[in-house]
Structure formats: structure tokens, C-alpha cells
Amino acid sequence: MDGFVEQPAPREEWGSLAPSIHLPLLPCLLHHPVTRGPKETEFQKTKEACLNYIQDALLQNQWQRAAEFMISYLEILETSTVSKRKTAPEAIWRIGTEILLHHSKSNIEELNYFTERMKNLGVKYYLKVCLEHIFYLLCNGLIDEAYQNLTLAESWRYGEQTAAQNDELKLIQAYKGLLDYYNWSKKREAMLELDEENFTDSSEQEMHNFFRQAAVNLKEIIKIPGVWDPFVVSYVDLLEFYGDFDEAREVLTEYAYNSKFPPNPNAHAYLYHFLKRRGESKKSLVSVLKILHKTVPSHELMLEFYTMLKKSKKDKKRRLGLEVIFEVLDFAGWKENVKAWSCLAEQIKQILDNSNKHLDWVKEEWNSRKDWWPAFHFSHYLAKRNWQENEKLAYEKALLAGILLGKDCKYYKYVLHQGCKAKKKRFQTLKKFVKKHNSAYLRITACSDSSTHL
């Protein structure tokens, strides 16, 4: 990722009276009559006012009113201003689509008709309009119509394309590939349902055709940097079906680790799942998750990562496991995750049971958290709430509070008190456990204190 982007500072060229920020429109209360420059014609003024009313009606969700204004706004297409003539078709298409999408009396046919007309408004908008139309059809379940439209749009050629048009064309191809993939997967299902014998050659041929078309298009889009989750998943599925695992792995590795691609956590997850499906070695799985841990330490796969590391015999990995689980619990999103808390409690218990061999790991982890975890996780308020909402969570947290913060910790005391009042047996054991390992608490705090003093 390139961290620094050179951009000419536009402020300088704006002169001293430019606003500190580029404003899309001058607020209308600051409007003064313009003294210089070309004067607006009455036609333009009327249409501008009309557009304001449409915008207003749209923003108040008054679709019928907007539609009525829209009828008169269509005349803007006959404007003589060059800049307006450029932007008017897009405005009409956008507003028209919005109205048709929401209006109670509109239907799919009308929208189809409108879109077809809009496609002819300008070369620049053709692909964009096509793509949006296809999205609309897809969302309304009209897969076949969408496929036809995709085929049509795919074959559209007009001179040189802009970068945006290029993207749109690629997307059209990719969506076509995706639909091919869906057709293919339908065939596959049918094939799996039927017996081998009943599955004719022709259907197999058909299925293969779909595969070929889908693979070509999908492979094409995956090469471009971007977020292509649905396409990658489909393509990998195709490849896996036909046993091209190397290609699949290559695609996924590229998708996850190519620095030109955005840091998509899903790419790592897909690779991990693929490797897991393939039964790859734990080492490679761990390495995938390790990278993911570096970028997204709060990812849900971190629990799986922790379980893997926990089982490892290497101290280094187990140390990493402790780090991972501690780090997961740093995040607000995991705050009330019982599984994560029980993982940590289990790990700490294990360390304590192991004659405090790795207590310094805990100390180290705790050291960076001791100033804020008590307030973040172990406050009196949270004790009350956790006890009310999730007893299991309260128990796990109380155990940790007892060990990490000592038996005078408010959280521990409250939960223990409530637990004992409710006469729950495990809270008695909890009390015993904490009492037993009070020395560990002392060691953790002592160590950390000395380290801070150092």
C-alpha cells in the first residue's frame, strides 16, 4: 500500500478567498446576483427550479410529486448549454430510476422501458445504465432477463473507453460469469441428485460450457485489484470441482497477499478455509492466521487460531496463543463473548496449574492492560450487568478478576457474593481456586510493579 499520495494542493490555485473546503454548492443564503459571466436564460432558470423541486420531493419521499415535476424537467434534454447537455441525461436517468423504484404504481415493465430509453441517451452512460438495470433485474429475481442484458451489454463496443467504462465492462463480464456459475451449480445439483447413468452427455456438455464461460470471465476480473469476494468464491468452487487445486490455491494466495489488492480479511479467511478443506498442514494454517492476526486481531478466526496454538508443543506458539486471546478480549466487540473469556480463563488456569511455569507470560500481557482492563472489564457496574445477563460470562470473568486483580477486586467480590448467595457450587470452587492462587496474583502485580519501576 502506498501510504503517501501526492496531490496538488488545490487551495493555492483557488486564491485567498476560496473556502477552506471545496463546497459542492454555494449555500443559497449566500447567493448574490451574479454581476459577471454568462447570464442564465429563463429556460435554464426554470429547469433549475424544477430540479430543486424534484430534489425536494425526493428527499421528502413524495414520489408522485416528484414524478409530476419530472414530466416538465424532461425538457432539459433540449437545452443548448453544453455542460447541461452533458449532465442532463444522467440526472434524468438517476431521478427517473429513483422515482420508479419507489413509486407505488410503477412496475418492472415500466422501469425496463424507461431504462431501455435511457440507454440511448448517451454513449458515456450506456454501460452504467446497463449495469444498474441488471442489478435491478437480479434483485427482483429476473435472472434470465438479467443474463440476456448482460450478454447484450458485454458485446457493446464504442470507440475508446474511459477507465470507469472499463471497470463497468469488466463488472458486466464478471456478473455474467457469476450467473454462468449459478447455472453451472444448478446443473451440478441436478447431477448430484441424479445417478451417474441418468446424467446424459449433453447435460454434462452443457455444464462444462457453463463452467468454461464462467471460468473465463471470473478469472479475468480476479486479476484486477479489488474486492471480488463473490467471484473468487465461485471461481474457487469451480476449480475445486474440476480438481484444479493448484490454480485455486494460487488464486486465493494472490487474492490474499498481493499488495495491490486491498487488505480484505475475507481473502485470508477464504485461503484459510480452502487450506483447511484441503487438509493442509497445521503449519501453513497457522501461518495464514498469523498474518490475519497481524492485520485483524479481532477477527472471529482468532479463536480458532488460539485453539491451534494452544495445542502446540512449542512454547513460542503457546505464548502467541495467550497473546492472541488477550488481544481478542481487548476489543469492545468481544467484551461479552463467553467463549473467548472461557478460553482465556482456561489458559490462565492451565498456566497456574502448571506450577506457574509461564506466569511471566501472563505478567507481560497483563502489564500493558492493568491500567485499563479493570475499568474496561471488571467494574462493579459490569459485574452487576453480567451477572444479570449471563452468569457463565460472569463466572469466567470473576475467575480472571480474582487471579489478575486479587480477591479484593470489586467484580470478583460481587459475582462471588451473588454466586454464593445463589448457592452455586462452582462459585465455591472458584473461591477456593482464587484463594489458592493468591500468590500468583501477588507475583503478577509485584512483577509488573517492578517492571514499571524499572
Partner 1 sequence: MQFPAPLFPGPHRAGPPSREPPCPALLGWGGRGPVLGAGAEPRQGFVPLRSEKGENWEPADAVAVPLLPPNAGFRVLAVTPHDILYPGRVRRKLQAGRTEAALDFTRQLAHFFLDHPEDAFGAMGQLLQENFHLGEARLRGKACENVVPLSALLRELSHMDARRGCRQLWVSSRLRGFCHLSQAWLWELPLGMLGERLHEELALQWDQLLFDDAPTGGALAWLPTGGIGASRGCLLHPAGPAMDQLCFQDVVLAPGEDGALRPCAQGSPAQFKLSGRVRQVSATQVDGAAFVGVRSDYHCGAWRLQPGAVPTPLQVVRTTSPASCLTVSPHLPGELSLCTHSGAVYLWSVETGLQRLCQEPETMFFRDASPWRWSEFTAHPRVLSYADRTGVQCLDVRAPTQARRDLFKVGAEAGCQRGERVVLPLYLGQAHPAQHLIATQFSVYVVDERFPLVPALRWEHMMTVPPIFAHMMPGSPRGRSHKVLLGAQRTQELMLLQCTGGSTSACQLVGAPRRLHTIADGLQYLPAMTPHQLDWLHQRLGMPAAGVTATLGRCGPLESMLVFQLSEAGDLFYQTLLHSQPADSSPERGHADEPSTSPSLQTPAQAVQHLPGPGTSCGSGTEGEEEDRMETYLSGLEVLVNEDSEDEDSGSAGQPTDPGAQGQGRTSPNQTPAPSPAIAAQYRRWLATLSHAWKHLAEPAKPRVPLTLSQRRLFTRRELGQVPGDRVLHQQARRQLRRAMRERGLVVGCALGSEPSPLPLPCPVEPQAWPDDLSERLTASWVGGWSNWWEEQQGRSQARQARVRALREQRRRRKRARGLCSLSGSFSSSLTCQSDLSDFSDVSAWSVGSRAPTPVPASPQHSLAPSLSGQDAPAEPWPGSPLACSTQLSQEPGGSQDPGTPSQLLSSQMLRLRGVPRERRKTLRDYLSIFTESPVEPPPEVPSSQASRLGGDHRVPLSQSQASSLGGERHVPLSQSQASSLGGERHVPLSQSQASSLGGGQHVPLSQSQASTGSQAKRKRARMGF
81 near partner 1 (CB under 8 A)? no
Nearer to partner 1, 268 or 318 (CB): 268
Of 363, 421, 359, 356, the residue nearest 394 (C-alpha): 421
Q: Which is nearer to partner 1, 376 or 433 (CB)?
A: 376
- Based on the shown chain and the rule CB under 8 A, indicate whether residue 77 belongs to the binding site for partner 1: no
Is there a contact between 339 and 303 (Cβ–Cβ < 8 Å)? yes
| Burial environment of residue 318 by CB neighbours within 10 A (0 to 12, 13 to 18, 19 or more) | buried
* Count of Cβ atoms closer than 10 Å to residue 157 Cβ: 7
Do the beta carbons of residue 179 and residue 150 sit within 8 Å? yes
Q: Which is nearer to partner 1, 339 or 432 (CB)?
A: 339
Q: Of the two residues 132 and 360, which places its CB atom closer to partner 1 in the complex?
A: 132
Site membership for partner 1, residue 333 (CB under 8 A):
yes
138 binds partner 1 (CB under 8 A): yes
Min CB(168)–partner 1 separation in Å: 10
Nearest to 55 by CA among 41, 69, 45: 69
Whose Cβ is closer to partner 1: residue 72's or residue 429's? 72
Cα–Cα distances (Å) from 242 to 64, 207, 212, 416, in that order, read 53, 12, 11, 58
Distance in angstroms (rounded) separating the CA atoms of residues 70 and 104: 16
Among 38, 39, 109, 141, binds partner 1 (CB under 8 A): 141
CA 168 from centre of chain:
21
> Should residue 321 be labelled a site residue for partner 1 when binding is judged by CB under 8 A?
no
Which region, judged by CB under 8 A, interacts with partner 1, from 259-267, 274-282, 358-366, 434-442?
259-267
Which listed range, 151-159, 202-210, 375-383, 389-397, lies at the site for partner 1 (CB under 8 A)? 375-383
Q: Residue 116 belongs to what H/E stretch? A: helix 108-119
**Residue 24 phi/psi, 5° resolution?**
-65, -40
In the complex with partner 1, the residue whose CB is nearer, 185 or 347, is 185
Q: Judged by CB under 8 A, does residue 26 bind partner 1?
A: yes
- When asked if residue 71 is in the footprint of partner 1 (CB under 8 A), the reply is no
The three cell numbers of residue 219 are 478469472
Joined together, the cell numbers standing for residue 234 give 465461485
Q: For the segment 381-440, give every residue that binds partner 1 (CB under 8 A).
A: 381-382
Closest separation between CB of residue 348 and partner 1, Å? 21
Choose which of 70, 150, 174, 398 interacts with partner 1 (CB under 8 A). Answer: 174
- Record the cell numbers describing residue 310, joined without a space: 494452544
User: Contact region for partner 1 (CB under 8 A) — 153-161, 173-181, 414-422, 427-435?
Assistant: 173-181
On whether the CB atoms of residues 126 and 162 are closer than 8 A, the answer is: no
Taking the least distance from each CB to partner 1, the nearer of 215 and 328 is 328
Q: Which of 43, 79, 81, 103 is in the footprint of partner 1 by CB under 8 A?
A: 103
Residue 174 or 403: the one with the smaller Cβ distance to partner 1 is 174
Inter-axis angle of helices 245-257 and 282-295, to 10 degrees?
20
Contact window for partner 1 (CB under 8 A) among 151-159, 190-198, 263-271, 390-398: 263-271
Cβ atoms of 417 and 398 closer than 8 Å: no
Among 79, 81, 124, 132, binds partner 1 (CB under 8 A): 132
Burial 412-430 (b: 16+ CB within 10 A, else e): bbbbbebbeeeeeeebeeb
Candidate segments 51-59, 195-203, 247-255, 431-439, binder of partner 1 by CB under 8 A: 51-59
Question: SS3 for 280?
Answer: coil
Q: How far from 25 is each of 4, 46, 73, 190, 222, CA to CA, in Å?
A: 29, 18, 20, 57, 39
> By CB under 8 A, is residue 331 in contact with partner 1?
yes
CB of residue 257 vs partner 1: minimum separation in angstroms? Answer: 15
The nearest distance, CB 280 to partner 1, in angstroms, is: 21
Supply the DSSP symbol for 74: G
338 binds partner 1 (CB under 8 A): no
Shortest separation between residue 343's beta carbon and partner 1, angstroms: 14
Of the candidate spans 192-200, 261-269, 316-324, 415-423, the one that interacts with partner 1 by CB under 8 A turns out to be 261-269
Identity of the residue numbered 148: Q
Q: How far is the CB of 352 from partner 1 (least distance, A)?
A: 26
| E strands, 294-339, in order | none
Give the DSSP H/E element, type plus range, for residue 15: none
| ∠ Cα 355 361 365 (to 5°) | 135
Question: Which residues, numbered 212-251, are part of the site for partner 1 (CB under 8 A)?
Answer: 224-231, 233
284-303 mask for partner 1 (x: CB under 8 A)?
------------x-xxx---
Total residues at the site for partner 1 (CB under 8 A)?
123
